[in-house]
């Protein structure tokens, strides 16, 4: 069974801490994702998957959404390992930039709906 169903206590605590300190783009996207607002897709934020905490996770659609900012620009190798691990769990990953979220939230939510298999106007 994929390990995205299990997380160490350390990762659970880290995820809780991250929920308290989200970036403005993460907070804005959460407002669009919470309560199944995108076609009924249920997302969790700052969810542990193995050794990583992902920004948003929809178990029903097997979808991870990561919001990347400037701090990710120099972390290509780490992001590649993270992506490989997440995909090895049978999950698909969508990476969006802070700018995408702040400047074109509609396009981001449309892409999430598409990957989640729900119609979106």
Say which CATH number the domain at 15 has: 3.40.960.10
The string of pLDDT tens digits covering residues 61-103 is: 999 999 987 654 567 777 788 899 999 999 999 999 999 999 9
**Average pLDDT score over the chain:** 84
**For helices 24-33 and 105-116, what crossing angle results, to 10°?**
50
The torsion region of residue 21 among left (phi > 0), alpha (psi -120 to 50) and beta comes to: alpha
- The whole-number pLDDT of residue 85 equals 93
Residue 121 located in a structural domain: no
- The whole-number pLDDT of residue 81 equals 87
- Structural domain that includes position 48: 3-116
% pLDDT > 70, the chain: 78
Number of domains in the chain: 1
Q: φ, ψ for residue 109 (rounded to 5)?
A: -65, -35
Higher pLDDT, 17 or 6: 17
């Amino acid at each position: 069974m994929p390990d995205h169903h299990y997380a160490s206590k350390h990762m659970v605590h880290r995820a809780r801490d991250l929920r308290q300190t989200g970036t403005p783009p993460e907070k804005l996207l959460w407002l669009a994702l919470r309560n199944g607002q995108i076609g009924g897709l249920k997302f969790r934020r700052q969810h542990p998957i193995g050794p990583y905490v992902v920004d948003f996770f929809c178990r029903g659609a097997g979808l991870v959404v990561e919001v990347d900012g400037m701090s990710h620009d120099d972390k290509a190798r780490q992001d590649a390992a993270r992506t490989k691990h997440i995909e090895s769990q049978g999950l698909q990953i969508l990476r969006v930039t802070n700018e995408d979220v702040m400047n074109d939230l509609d396009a981001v939510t449309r892409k999430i709906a598409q990957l989640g298999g729900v119609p979106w106007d």
